[in-house]
């Protein structure tokens, strides 16, 4: 979750000269979001209500983050170009199918962290919800304005591993200022 309609409050507390704890409880209200997975699938989420907590422990070279989200929502799946078997060996394409699943609920837990070893940054995060769990790890190495990195992660469902992703890229910025920036992948 990156944005919501509602309110939050952040409490920052300095534990030591090098450690800070931030707690952010939040509450969200009626909201509508659409996610286009690909050209054939769009999911629409109408949030009825949500609440949760984000806790972050920050040190000089590290950050640990925990989040909890409880949300009640209606989900509409909009699928285009759906193959439909009308008889053995006879398939037709349905141009559009829309189904709504009202009153869905999700409870999501997330724990992650990152650590800087000078130019090397290591990051890991795991998530668990009612239907699936996932994790990823990444390593990035800053070389002046370029940062090559590698990311590996997996998503698990009740039936086992469902998606595995690996992403490798070289990202850097040349001539970056406040008005324009070029990113290279």
Per run of 10 residues, the mean pLDDT along the chain (length 185 residues) is 81 96 95 87 90 97 97 91 87 88 93 96 95 91 88 79 52 42 42
How long a stretch of residues is the chain? Answer: 185
> 10 Å Cβ neighbour count for 71?
21
Q: What confidence score (pLDDT) does residue 177 get?
A: 40
Pull the structure tokens for residue 185: 């992948």
Q: Is 57 left (phi over 0), alpha (psi -120 to 50) or beta?
A: beta
List, in order, residues 6 or more apart from 112 with CB less than 8 Å away.
64, 65, 123, 124, 125, 126
pTM: 0.74
Beta-carbon contacts of 130 under 8 Å, excluding residues fewer than 6 positions away, are: 105, 106, 107
Structure-token pair, residue 77: 């799946």
List of long-range contacts for 135-143, beta carbons under 8 Å, 24+ apart: 136/165, 143/119
């Amino acid at each position: 979750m990156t944005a919501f309609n509602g309110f939050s409050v952040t409490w920052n507390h300095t534990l030591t000269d090098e450690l800070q704890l931030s707690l952010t409880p939040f509450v969200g209200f009626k909201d509508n979001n659409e996610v286009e997975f690909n050209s054939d699938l769009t999911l629409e989420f109408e949030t009825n209500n949500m609440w949760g907590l984000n806790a972050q422990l920050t040190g000089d070279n590290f950050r640990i983050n925990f989040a909890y989200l409880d949300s009640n929502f209606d989900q509409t799946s909009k699928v285009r170009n759906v193959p439909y078997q009308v008889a053995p060996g006879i398939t037709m394409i349905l141009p559009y199918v829309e189904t709504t699943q009202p009153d869905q609920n999700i409870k999501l837990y997330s724990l992650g962290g990152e650590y800087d070893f000078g130019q090397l940054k290591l990051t890991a995060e795991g998530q668990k919800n009612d239907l699936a769990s996932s994790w990823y790890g990444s390593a990035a190495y800053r070389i002046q304005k370029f940062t090559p990195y590698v990311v590996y992660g997996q998503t698990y469902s009740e039936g086992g591993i469902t998606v595995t992703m690996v992403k490798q890229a070289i990202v850097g910025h040349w001539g970056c200022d406040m008005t324009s920036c070029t990113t290279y992948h």
